[in-house]
Structure 1
C-alpha cells in the first residue's frame, strides 16, 4: 500500500467506524451530517447517543458526492452491505479491517464536539499572531495581515498591548511554546508549520500543504484539525506552560452554550424565564415537536438540565430500566412503558446518553 492509499483509508476507516457505531439505527447520511457538523437537533443527539462526539464537524467540507464515493468503495471492498434506503451494515470483513492495525489510523486527538466552534478561531488568531510577531522582530511594518476580519485584528491589538514585553522576548516565548507543544506528540508538526506565514516566508494553502505531504485534501484537513485539537487540549490542561497560547482561548461564552443550535438557545432563554412548552409554542410560532427537540438537545448538552418537570422520576426509572434490559427502539420502549410519551422517552434517554432507534 503506497502512502496515498494509506491516506485515503483514514477517511474510509472513519466512515466505517461511524457506520459500526450507529448499528443501522440511522442512515449513512446521518454520518455525513455528523462529520459536516450540521447544527440540527437530530445530528446533535446522534453525536451524543452513539458516542461520536469527537467526530462532530471534523470534515465540514466533505461533500455528499465524495461521501457516496467512500460508501461505494466500502461496498466494493465488501466492508459493508447495503440494506436499501441509505442504510448500511458492517460485514465481518469490515470489522476485521477496523481491528487490523495495531495503532489506530484515525487521528487520536480529534475532539470535534468540544472544539468545533473554537478551532477555527484559534487558528485564525494563532496564524495572525505568528505573522505579526515575526514582522515585529524584523522591524517590518509593511505587510498585509493574513487575517483581515476586524475581530481578529482587534483581538491581536489588545493582545500586544497586554503583553508589554520586548518584541524579541515575545517572539522567543511564542517559539518556545510552539516548539514544546509540537514536540513528542503523535502528529507531524509540518501539517501546521507549513501553513504559517512569517516576515520572510508565505505559508502554504491547504491544497499546497496537502500536495507537499502527499495527502488527499480531505485527509490533510482531518489531520490539520487533529493538530489544532491536540494544541487546544494541551493548552487547556497545562495552561501555565503556555501563557501566550492560553490567551487565544479566551471567550465570553461557555462551551456548552456554544454547542447549542441558535434556535435552541432562544428556547432555553424562554425556559429560564419560566415559560412552559405551550407558551413558547405560541411566542415563537413553532411546532410542539420542534420545541421538544430543543428540550432534548438541552438535556444532552447541559449536564445540569433538570428533566423532572417534564418526566416524573418514577416514569424515568421505568424508561431507564427498560432500556438497560436491551430494548433500544422507541416504539418497543413505549409498549413497555405506555404511560410515557415518545418525547418523554427521548428526553430520558438523552439525559442518560442511551442510543436508541425509531
Structure 2
C-alpha cells in the first residue's frame, strides 16, 4: 500500500470556520447535486445561503412548497453535532478551498458537492490524483468478480487508487481486490460515512475505513435512497481520471457513471464479456460508442496515465523456433512437404530458391534441428512440425 498521507486536519476553507459550519449544515438541508443550491452558493456563499434556506433571507425563484421543505430540514440541522460525530469516527468534513479538497470535483460546476464527509487516515486529494473508478453490475458473474478483483489489485500494485461505490457485485470485488493487495481504495457512499450499507458489507466497509477511505456527501446518520445512489455516481466520475465498466446490463447504474465521466472529459473504458451474456450487453454497447476496450491494468494505465510514459507492453503470441529463422531459411523450410521427404531440387522449386542456396539452407536447418536427411531426401523433424 502506498504510504498513507496524513490528512490536512489544520487546513481550512477560504471562508474559515463559519463557512465550514454553514456547509456542514447545508449537507443536511439540500440533496446532493442540487444545482439551485449550487448556484446560490456560487453567487452568495454558504453563510448567506444557510440563512436564506432557514427563512432568514429571501431566495427568489423558489416555490413555497420547496422553500417549506428547506425550512423544515434547516430546523433539524445541527452542524456542530454532525462535525463532532465525524470527529469521533476519526474523520473530518472537507470543503472547497481546503488543501485536501480534490480540485477535479470543481468540474461538476453547480453540481459540485457542498462538502465531503471523509473517514480514514489518508489524505483524499493525493489519492484521487491517480485514481481509476472500477464499476459494474451488482448481480455480476464469477467472471466479472474475478476480473474486477484482479484489475483492482494490479492497479493498486502500480500505484493507482481504485474508486468504487461499496455496493454488491463489481464494486465490492474491486474494493476487495485492492485491499487484498494492500492497496489504496476509496468507497464513495450514498449515505453517511458512519452508516453500514449494504449491511452485509459491514466487514468490508470497516476494512476500507481502516486501510482506505470512505467518502460521502451526506452527513452522519443519513441513509441512502435510490436517487442518492444515482447522484453519487457523478462524484465517482469526477473524482477519477477514468472509469472502467466490467459488467453491466443495458440499464445498469454503472453506465450512468460512464456517461457522466464521458461528459466530464474523462476516459471511459469497458472490459468485454461473452456476447451471449446479458451482463455484458451494456459494456458492449459502451464499446460500440466512445468506450475504449481494456483487458488488464496495463491497458487502463496506458489510457489514464502520462502520455508516452505508461505504455502497455506489446502483446504477442508465444515465440516458436521458426520465428527466429532468417527469411530465406524459413522459405526453404516451407518448401518441404508436411509428411514424407523431398530432394533438394524439389524443395528449390517449391520455395522459389536457387539449388545452391537451397542446399546451403537445408544443411543450416539440419544443424538447427528442423530437418533430417536420408540419402538424397530431406524431411521435417517433429520439432519443425509443431
Using structure 1 for the length normalisation, give the TM-score. 0.23
The structure showing larger relative contact order (alpha-carbon pairs under 8 Å, at least 6 residues apart) is 1
Structure in which a larger fraction of residues adopt helix: 1
Structure in which a larger fraction of residues adopt strand: 2
Larger Rg: 2
